[in-house]
Amino acid sequence: MLEALWTMAQLLTLVSSLAIVLVLLARPLLQRSFGSELAYMAWAAVPLALLAVLVPQAPSPVPHPVVSGWTAQTMSAVQASIQQAPTDPRPWLLAIWCLGALAMLVSMARTQRRFARQVARQPGQAFDCCEQASPAVFGLWRPRIVLPVDFATRYDVHEQALLLAHEHEHLRRNDIPAQALASVLRCVFWFNPLMHLAARRFRLDQELACDAAVLRRHPRERRRYGEAMLKTQLAALSLPLGCHWPSCHPLKERITMLKQSAPGPARRRFGSSVIAAGLAVLALGAWAAQPSEAAKAGMKPLQALTDDDVIVQPKYPAAAVKEGIGGLVVLDLLIGDDGIPTDIRVHRADPEGVFEKQAVEAAREWRFNAGREGRRGDKVEGWIRVPVKFTPPATTPPSASPSPAESEA
């Protein structure tokens, strides 16, 4: 379980980072070619790539080694210690990961609650009021438009209509759930600076897309729309779940966008097709790039196991002999190219705490004819799984030997 979690965490981090880099690189070209609305769609690449990685591939056949006369041995790479490596840092790293995600989630929740306390609810009205000077859409389950208390005096009638059209566009596009997903990803990948950079650019593109949608319906109001932006006092609060007019540098980019001409219907359709195809290719590539089950396990197949292997029988514990206890210990051994075990780990034991010590002590004395790989017959290093069955004295004379019946694929 630990190995699977660690491998999946690394894979998700790598895939999300690559997707973010691709979107950041393609973003300026998409904006110039197809407009801000379609460029905003490109951010779907990040969750789609993560989802593609989580979709399992069809199981692939696992190669089986040659079985010797005394046991059946299957290959498996075990890169994490289960009982034999208490200093393995991965459990601690995963714990730190979870604590960091929880801390960031709590911080976002506090920011959201702090803003919610400042909002004066207006039952029966189309919007709420707040001392914050930036128009915004606030709330996840029942999003509402929040306007500054001086909204009616600061803006003229035409500017008010444009600002309200902008906020209604956020509601129409369901931008708050999209922000919720972005916030979740920021919590999960809190340690990745690319994710925080992507969240900021994502929010900016979200605003640019709404700007472009409003101006597409009001093409003659570009100047008035820009004046409304300049009148808007810049918000100092960044909400995890809220669409508000952002800070200085994005505002400059939004005003610059007003000078660009909107793409025509034909270019928009073509751009939608290009972006949809790109998202499909990226998701398929992320899914296909998953390592096979054998590769996820780090499997290094050894193609030859012979009867020349030297196996020392484990000692049967005196207490187990007295009580007539039998059991099974499955060992994972890293066999060096000289045939000597360099790492011994207990994969599982039944019952626990009875036979593990004797099995490990005996395994240190085992010697293997190291596997051969490739046409040249090179010696290779690889893992091997050896089940050791302890038969209780009540059934047969006390003995402990590797058991072919308990081998695992």
In the chain, domain spans = 2-62+91-288, 63-88+300-409
pLDDT of residue 72: 34
Q: Is the model's pLDDT at 103 over the cut of 90?
A: yes
pLDDT band at 399 (very low <50, low <70, confident <90, very high): low
Give percent of the chain above pLDDT 90: 11
DSSP H or E segment with residue 145 = strand 144-148
Residue 125 pLDDT greater than 80, yes or no: no
Residue 25 predicted with pLDDT over 80: yes
Confidence of residue 374 (pLDDT cuts 50, 70, 90): very low
What pLDDT does residue 299 have? 45
Mean local confidence (pLDDT), 325-352? 84
Cα 238 from Cα 186, distance rounded (Å): 14
Mean pLDDT of the 345-362 span = 87
Mean pLDDT, residues 142-163: 84
For residue 355, give both structure tokens: 């036979």
- The reported pLDDT for the residue numbered 336 is 79
d(CA 240, CA 176) in angstroms, rounded, equals 9
Taking the C-alpha atoms of residue 27 and residue 19, their distance in angstroms, rounded to an integer, is 12
pLDDT (tens digit, 9 = 90+) per residue, 106-124?
998 888 888 888 887 777 7
Residue 182 has pLDDT above 80, yes or no: yes
For residue 208, the Cα-to-chain-centroid distance in whole angstroms is 27
Encode pLDDT of 34-92 as tens digits. 888 888 889 999 999 888 888 876 554 433 333 333 333 333 333 333 333 345 677 88
Residue 394: pLDDT over 80: no
b/e for 152-183, b at 16 or more Cβ within 10 A?
A: eebbeeebbbbbbbbbebbeebebbebbeebb
For residues 112 and 188, give the distance between their C-alpha atoms in angstroms, rounded to a whole number.
18
Reported as a single tens digit per residue, the pLDDT across 202-237 is: 988 888 888 888 888 888 888 888 777 777 754 445
pLDDT classification of 133: cutoffs 50, 70, 90:
low
Question: Residue 168 and residue 144: Cα distance in Å, rounded?
Answer: 9
Stretch among 59-63, 143-147, 282-286, 339-343 having the lowest mean pLDDT: 59-63
Percent helix, percent strand, percent coil in the chain, to nearest 5: 50, 15, 35
pLDDT of 233 reads: 55
Q: Is the pLDDT of residue 186 over 50?
A: yes
DSSP state of 393: T
* Rounded-to-integer distance, Cα 404 and Cα 401, Å: 10
- Identify the CATH class of 63-88+300-409: alpha beta
What does the pLDDT read at residue 217?
Answer: 86
Q: What is the mean pLDDT of residues 5-27?
A: 88
Rounded Cα distance, 320 and 56, in Å: 43
pLDDT of residue 298: 47
Q: Is the pTM value of this prediction over 0.75?
A: no
pLDDT surpasses 70 at 136 = yes
